[in-house]
Amino acid sequence: MGKKTKIALAIAAASAAAWAGSKAISKPQQREGKQALQFDRPIILAHRGGALLAPEHTMVAFEKAAQLGVEGFEIDIRLTKDEEIIVFHDDTVERTTDGYGLVADMTLAEINAFNHGYHFKDLDGTFPYREDSLNVVTLRELLEAYPNMLVNIDIKDAPDTYEGSLMPSKLWRLIEELGAENRVVVTSFYGEQIDRFNLYAQNQVALGAGESDVRKAFASFSSQFGHLYHPKVDVFQIPTKSGVIALDSPKFIQFLTNLNIPVHYWTINDIDIMKKLINNGAKGIITDRPDVAIELLQADAAVEQ
């Protein structure tokens, strides 16, 4: 046996011993289930209210999605100059209105001076809301209007901005005031914002995975040391791919499911992809086309009966 072979075998033996040792002392720890996520079937969350059916983040969109029968909404939030939490994605009002301005530099009244359905194009190619005057929705208004809906809240303001520094505490105070702890999920691309929010919430609210959480989970799943992964969030809302890495395999979904972490995929508008994800074990579909998703689940339910 050559020297290189002996070294390779020694390394392999050491790796196996390390794996066995870690396996013996570290057991996978399931995340305690949150009431907001207790569904016995895959759920449909209307992305921004169903952004291909009505102007995103407006009451028109939320009402259409609610009438279709979705279980909840996936929304974004930002803080205005007068410190109102509004349901809004971009950092400016340009894309959805006939005006321009940074959300953080404008008051709620100034933002509502624009028509937030101005650029919405319907499936038939028309602009049905151009003559209307659609306002933005505050998070308070949404939570009060739909007390039985799951609302997945994505903090968009960066932690290193003034508005971002205020958002975690203001969001928690609003959720606590409305008694909405058991019907919301709070997440952000910024893991720091999730951590800051939870300093106030103290695990009373379901937390969604940030980008760093997804990377850690997938790295653990892909290695031989998945048993060392201990999640600090309650649900993964993820795309089907991150770069060249596929995140929609049944094995990865099962890895998270075994830890009591449901997986919701965004933004899925194709019915065949919806079918595939649900068959793979996904517990939620976040979609701009809640009409398509609801039709799929109703058809599946009819077949089961």
Q: Are 266 and 62 in contact (CB under 8 A)?
A: no
Where residue 145 sits, what CATH number does that domain have? 3.20.20.190
User: Residue 157's domain spans which residues?
Assistant: 35-91+137-304
Q: What is the 3-state secondary structure (H, E, C) of 146-157?
A: CCCCEEEEEECC
Model pLDDT, residue 222: 87
In the chain, the number of structural domains is 1
Residue 28: predicted pLDDT: 55
Distance of alpha carbon 116 from alpha carbon 93, whole angstroms: 8
Q: Which two tokens stand for residue 244?
A: 């060249």
Quote the pLDDT of residue 230: 85
Tokens of 128: 């049905």
Residue 2 has pLDDT above 60, yes or no: no
Angle between helices 290-304 and 271-280 (to 10 degrees): 50
Model confidence at 166, pLDDT cuts 50, 70, 90, reads very high
Enumerate the β-bridge partners of residue 86: 78, 138
Residue 148 inside a domain? The answer is yes
Angle (CA) 244-250-254 rounded to 5° is 115
Residue 188 included in any domain: yes
Among 100-109, 118-127, 225-234, 292-301, which stretch is predicted with the lowest mean pLDDT? 225-234
78 and 69 Cβ atoms separated by less than 8 Å: no
Identify whether 182 is part of a domain: yes
Q: Is the dihedral of CA 234, 172, 146, 295 positive or negative?
A: negative
Q: Is 187 exposed, middle or buried (0-12, 13-18, 19+ CB in 10 A)?
A: buried
| Torsion on CA atoms 47, 49, 53, 58, rounded to nearest 10 | -140
29 domain-assigned? no
3-state secondary structure 108-119: HHHHCCCCCCCC
Can you tell me the mean pLDDT for 65-86?
A: 97
**221: Cα within 13 Å, side-chain hemisphere:** 22
Please give the backbone phi and psi of residue 159, each rounded to the nearest 5 degrees, phi first. -65, -20
Residue 1 within a domain? no
Between these two residues, 54 and 99, which has the higher pLDDT value? 54
Task: For residues 239 and 206, give the distance between their C-alpha atoms in angstroms, rounded to a whole number.
Answer: 19
Write down the pTM of the prediction.
0.87
Q: Amino acid identity of 300?
A: D
In a domain, 20, yes or no: no
Contact call for residues 151 and 142 (beta carbons, < 8 A):
yes
Place 150 in a pLDDT band, splitting at 50, 70 and 90: very high
Q: How many other C-beta atoms are found inside a 10 Å radius of the C-beta of residue 240? A: 16
Q: Please check whether residue 14 lies inside any domain of the structure.
A: no
Q: What is the mean pLDDT of residues 270-293?
A: 96
Does 6 fall in a domain?
Answer: no
Per-residue pLDDT at 9: 41
Average pLDDT on 209-228 reads: 83
- Inform me whether the pLDDT recorded for 305 exceeds 80: no
Question: pLDDT tens across 95-137, in order?
Answer: 999 889 999 999 999 999 999 999 999 999 999 999 888 999 9
- pLDDT (tens digit, 9 = 90+) per residue, 14-47? 444 443 444 444 455 677 889 999 998 999 999 9
